[in-house]
Amino acid sequence: ACGDTEDVQQEADATSEEAYDNLIVSHFQPGNHPLQTEVLDGLNEDLEEQTDGRISMEFYPSNQIGDADSQYDMAVTGEADVSLSVSGYSAGRFPLVTVMELPFMSESAEHASEILNTLYEEFPEIQEEHHDTNPLFLFSAEPAQIMSRDHRIENPEDMEGLRVRSPSPLGNELIESLGATPISMPMGEVYEGIDRGVIDAAMVPFETLYNYSFYEVVNYVTVGDFAAQPFFSVMNTETYENFSDSDQEIIDDLTGTELAKEAGSVYDADGEVGVEMAKEDGVEFIELEGDAMSPWEEALSPAVQEWIEEREEEGYPAQEIYDRARELEEELS
Amino acid sequence: MSPELIGVLGTVAVIVLFFLKIPIGISLIIVGLLGTTLIRDWSVAFAQLGRTPFDTSSDYSLSVIPMFILMGMVLSYTGMGQDLYRAVDRWIGHFRGGLAMATIGSSAIFSSISGSLNATTATVAKIALPEMEKYRYKPGISTGSVAAGGTLGILIPPSVILILYGILTMEPIGELLISGIIPGILQILFFIITIAILVRRDPFIAPPRERKASLSERFYALNKTWPFIGLFLVSIGGIYLGVFTPTEAAGVGAFGALAFALLSRKIDWQKLKGSFNEAVRLTAFILLIVIGANLFGQFLAISRIPVQLTSYVGNLELNPYIILVLILAVLFILGCFIESLALMVITLPIVYPIITELGFDGLWFGVIMIMVVNIGALTPPLGISVYVIKGVAPDVPLNTIFRGVVPMIIAMIACVVVLIIFPQLVTILPDLMN
Amino acid sequence: MDRVISKLNTGLLYVAQIALLIMVLVVTFDVLGRWIFNQPITGSVEITELGFSMVIFLSLAYTHLKGEHVSIDFMIDKLPEKGRLIADSIINVVIVVLMGLVAISLFWYAQRLFISNTVTGDLGLPIYIFTIISGVGSVAFALTALLLSINYIKKGG
Ligand code: NA
Ligand code: NA
């Protein structure tokens, strides 16, 4: 219904469903999360403005129309026109974006988001794992650090025998290769876990110092940028293809790397607040830099090698992707 | 048709299907499927029809349900209910109306391992009714106290309905369970006071007993209740101290119950099979409703009714307490006709956002709501407890049972009023947890 | 037919009960392992979740056979006996149709999970297998309703 006679058409079409698309946007964060109130709302405003109101978004936060780990499938089937969630919640589905979960790949969420989105644009194999939707932007949370109440962790050996909350299945392997025991635990329980000694440490991003008040229970933070968590925001293919070429172009222009960076910076902003609060509370930050880093790289390199080998065996150019990611890490920092 | 109109019609359709004897879970699924097809598309509706049931049935936080139920089933199959009742009777049975009070007391203790109203009512009814008949209690007071005691099953943790409230509203389950403790104790006191008043007004309804049990007899009997108390302390105490998640508490509790029953040889192969059999069946019937509730809730969400209604009520210039009382009154009336689980799942998506928007505490409302829908379990025409009791005591006319619960309902309303005036009674324990 | 369906349901119910037992054991030993031996059970959460789906779907049919899915019967039960039997038969036809659709939708979901290679995080278990099992449970539920529907008609006729 879009075309040259737009102005005349618009009034007539106001009541028809095709002319005005109210996209169903489903995501896993609460409705007051900046991911909605800043990033998605901003996208919505731009869309409405640039398409003269032909496209707008209607938000369904907090998994109210489907589980966090089904958000991607919902965009595949069209239950949601747009969905956003954590890639790792659908294990096995995205073998390549997990490259961001490897250690030392990024230094902030914005940084990680830019790397991830660039990798997506450069590698057809990463596009292929999202072939059943039309991705809008891939982004990332902040890299995880190691936080502990009682243990000042500076060397990999300090991790020996500790019970550590793991961020992901790949995180399990990282933790195991440091000689520690990975524990899977929902984020909501980590505070108490640390406080009551159920776990000795947690591999979590700075943002949790603030959002989960970890600054109250944690005394040491080892800053090594161990693993970042990739997210997706994708559109149902049919929804996308039903738009006119010009509208598709508007969508393409408004999404992509810039929006990914904006989404990442939401997590960085919380992270900064968290670090601030923790410093005020006397938490010690142990920065792993230069020489302090090498034993960690050594200890974790088998896990990285394993990630590469496993995927190479499955026929993915994993080495190439990993190398390029490291390159981008330097280039974009 | 606008989505909102489809939403309204869908809600009406659910209630019509209920009354046509379509199982509650099935009714909810039907309306969810058709409603989503009308608002969106059939392909969307069928995608949901496959995904939501599976996602619901593999939800970690819901998996506490079968394990808590199993814990309760194993202990009730051990025949320990009898010992429990005797023990409580030794302590308070000599008061006037003491057997009725002992019924409340043993219901309370049994509730501490049972997550369900039906399980508590049926178990205590089987033990307490014959006992009270023996001492020539009038049927009104005996059945009334059993029915009242049964409602403690879902107020004192663990409680399947409180767990579901947590799932449906995303309130933290551990804290919800803990928040039921003080209201549960308060409710016990109110029931006992009610019995005392009833007996004072008409001594003939509960003839006195001849003798008091000696102190040694009392402690000997008390010894029999330790598995209940022990399991309660381990599972709920574990949640309170943050040692366990609710799911872990349920698993450990069920394991503890099994271990105790096997080691003390209180359970044989038949009973063991029976308790597993009953646990999975109860789970199936509850979860079919929850699956339906989720599909229906997703349909309601895309109809935009909850959002619209929330902003409408939020803009009303009414005192929040008036709106609260109106909502509770509607729940109370609906509760007379609709099974409490089903009532909760169809109203919560609409009611919960309104309540929190008005500034009320979500945990607190969970407890209040459960107490109100609990009343529906005692009222005609659908008072489920009353029918359970009727099943155990077929000779007592339904009318007598319904009349017997009237004073208990007044006690429950009084308890709700107290908790509305003093919300701290609900929130203090979960607050202390943090 | 009665026999076959009753056998099928009992069989599925056994599997459901074993799944429940496994859930209890895994959760308990995970907790004990974590506290005492510093060695939790890998994948305990996903075993619990998948076991739970089997507990539910494999006991739905048996529960229906026992007439335990809650429904509000006081209106229909006011009908004369013949009307009641016809109503019960129709209700079961509704269940047959609906659970048939649920089963098809579950198989479709299983197909999507299979194609996208979705597995569990810790153990890498393929989720589609459990979705298919859930579909089988739904088929059993539909068959049970079909049987009951026929039996009600026979009694009424
Ligand atoms: Na209970
Ligand atoms: Na919850």
B10-19, B57-66, B411-420, C70-79, range with the lowest pLDDT: C70-79
Q: Is the pLDDT of residue A141 over 50?
A: yes
The residues in C 27-56 lying below 8 A from B, measured between CB atoms, are 27-28, 30-31, 45, 48-53, 55-56
Could you tell me the residue range of the domain that residue B241 belongs to?
3-433
Per-residue pLDDT, averaged over A193-216, amounts to 90
Q: Has residue B150 got a pLDDT over 80? A: yes
Q: How far is A224 from A297, CA to CA, in rounded Å? A: 10
Averaged confidence pLDDT in chain C = 94
pLDDT surpassing 80 at residue B338: no
Nearest to A189 among B40, B51, B245 (CB): B245
In this prediction, residue B36 has a pLDDT band, given cuts at 50, 70 and 90, of: very high
State residue A20's pLDDT score.
66
- pLDDT at C157 > cutoff 80: no
Question: Considering chain A, what is the average pLDDT of its residues?
Answer: 91
Per-residue pLDDT tens over the stretch C29-62:
998 887 777 778 888 999 999 999 999 999 999 9
Mean pLDDT of B120-139: 89
C 78-117 → B contacts, CB under 8 A:
87-88, 91, 94-95, 98, 101-102, 104-110
Q: What is the DSSP string of B352-388?
A: HHHHHHTT--HHHHHHHHHHHHHHHTTSTTT-HHHHH
Local confidence band at A73 (pLDDT 50, 70, 90 cut-offs)? very high
The confidence score (pLDDT) of residue B210 equals 67
Task: Check residue B142 and give its pLDDT.
Answer: 94
In terms of average pLDDT, the best of B7-16, B328-337, C13-22 is C13-22
Measured between beta carbons, the chain A residues lying within 8 angstroms of C31 are none
Indicate yes or no: CB of A92 within 8 angstroms of CB of C45. no
Label residue A17 by pLDDT band (50, 70, 90).
Answer: very low
Express each pLDDT in B351-400 by its tens digit: 998 999 889 999 999 999 999 988 888 887 777 788 888 878 888 888 89
Is the pLDDT confidence value at A15 over 50?
no
Secondary structure, 3-state, chain A: CCCCCHHHHHHHHCCCCCCCEEEEEEECCCCCCHHHHHHHHHHHHHHHHHCCCCEEEEEECCCCCCCHHHHHHHHHHCCCCEEEEEHHHCCCCCCCHHHHHCCCCCCCHHHHHHHHHHHHHHCHHHHHCCCCCEEEEEEECCCEEEEECCCCCCCHHHHCCCEEECCCHHHHHHHHHCCCEEECCCHHHHHHHHHCCCCCEEEEECHHHHHCCHHHCCCEEEECCCCCCEEEEEECHHHHHCCCHHHHHHHHHHCCHHHHHHHHHHHHHHHHHHHHHHHHCCCEEEECCHHHHHHHHHHHHHHHHHHHHHHHHCCCCHHHHHHHHHHHHHHCC
Q: Smallest Cα–Cα separation from A260: which of A144, A123, A116?
A: A116
Q: Does C132 touch chain B (CB under 8 A)?
A: no
Specify the pLDDT at position B390.
83
Q: What ipTM does this complex have?
A: 0.91
> Quick check: B123 pLDDT over 90?
no
* Residue C36 confidence (pLDDT): 78
Q: What average pLDDT does the segment C7-29 reach? A: 97
State the Cα–Cα distance between residues A255 and A259, nearest whole angstrom. Answer: 5
Ligand 2 (ion): residues with CB under 5 Å are B 166, 170
How many domains does chain C fold into? 1
Kindly tell me the burial class for residue A76, based on how many C-beta atoms sit within 10 Å of its own C-beta (0-12, 13-18, 19 or more). Answer: buried
> Judging by beta carbons within 10 Å of its beta carbon (0-12, 13-18, 19+), is residue B242 exposed, middle or buried?
middle
Interval A53-67 mean pLDDT? 91
| Helices B269-303 and C2-32, axial angle in degrees (round to 10) | 90
- The pLDDT value recorded for residue B345 is 74
Instruction: Give the mean pLDDT of C130-155.
Output: 97
C39 chain-A contacts, CB cut-off 8 A: 181
Q: Which residues does chain C have within 8 Å of residue A169's beta carbon, measured at their own beta carbons?
A: 121-122
Q: Separation of B254 CA from ligand 1 center, angstroms?
A: 14
Q: Tally Cβ neighbours within 10 Å of residue B9.
A: 16
Residue B352 has what pLDDT? Answer: 92
Mean pLDDT of C134-153: 97
Flag whether pLDDT at A18 surpasses 70: no
pLDDT at B219 over 90: no
Do the beta carbons of residue A106 and residue A184 sit within 8 Å? Answer: no
pLDDT at B330 over 70: yes
Q: Starting from the CA of residue B160, give the closest ligand.
A: 1
What is the rounded average pLDDT for all residues in chain B? 90
Q: Which residues of B touch A188 (CB under 8 A)?
A: 172
Does the structure show a pLDDT above 80 at A14? no
What does the pLDDT average to over A209-236? 95
Top mean-pLDDT range of A292-296, B226-230, B248-252, C21-25: C21-25
Of A72-76, B140-144, C72-76, C97-101, which gets the smallest average pLDDT? C72-76
- The pLDDT of residue B385: 84
Q: A11: pLDDT confidence band, cut at 50, 70 and 90?
A: very low
pLDDT recorded at residue B213: 83
Between B361 and A1, the higher pLDDT residue: B361
Residue type, A235: M
Does B410 score more than 70 pLDDT? Answer: yes
Nearest-Cα distance to chain C for A38, in Å, is 31
What pairs with residue A23 in β-bridges?
A57
Query: What is the per-residue pLDDT across A270-307, written as a single tens digit (0 to 9) for each?
Result: 999 999 999 999 999 999 988 999 999 999 999 999 99
| Res A113: pLDDT | 98
Measured CA to CA, the distance from residue C51 to residue B302 in angstroms comes to: 31
Which run of H or of E encompasses B237? helix B226-241
Confidence of residue B168 (pLDDT cuts 50, 70, 90): confident
Mean pLDDT for A111-132 is 97
Find the domain containing C1 and state its range: 1-156
Measured between CB atoms, which of C40, C112, C119 is closest to A183?
A: C40
Q: Name the token pair of A46.
A: 């731009």
Type and span of the H or E element at B192: helix B181-201
Task: Reply yes or no on whether the pLDDT at A101 is more than 70.
Answer: yes
Tell me which of B132-146, B210-224, C18-32, C92-106 is least confident.
B210-224
Q: Check: pTM over 0.95? Answer yes or no.
A: no
Q: How many CB atoms lie within 10 A of CB B323?
A: 18
For residue C119, the Cα-to-chain-centroid distance in whole angstroms is 21
Tell me the C-alpha distance between B258 and A256, whole Å. 56
| Per-residue pLDDT, B239 | 86
Residue C119 DSSP symbol: B
C98: closest CA of chain B, how far (Å): 7
Percent of chain B residues topping a pLDDT of 70: 100
Closest ligand by atom to B173 CA: 2
Nearest Cα residue in chain B from A186:
B245
Instruction: Provide the pLDDT for residue B346.
Output: 77
B348 versus A16: which is more confidently predicted?
A: B348
Task: Give mean pLDDT, residues A81-107.
Answer: 95
**CA distance linking residue A327 with residue A124, whole number of Å:** 18
Rounded average pLDDT over B309-323: 85
Instruction: Give the C-alpha distances (Å, rounded to integers) separating B319 from B309, B313, B421.
Output: 17, 11, 15
Number of domains in chain B: 1
Per-residue pLDDT at A251 exceeds 70: yes
Q: What is the average per-residue pLDDT within B234-244?
A: 85
Whole-number percent of chain C with pLDDT over 70: 99
**Closest Cα of chain C to A76: distance in Å?**
9
Q: Is the pLDDT of residue B1 over 60?
A: yes
Whole-number Å distance between alpha carbons of B98 and B94: 6
Q: What is the pLDDT of residue A10?
A: 45
CB B111 within 8 A of CB B152: yes
The pLDDT of residue C151 is 96
Q: What is the pLDDT of residue B208?
A: 81
* Band (A164; pLDDT cuts 50, 70, 90): very high
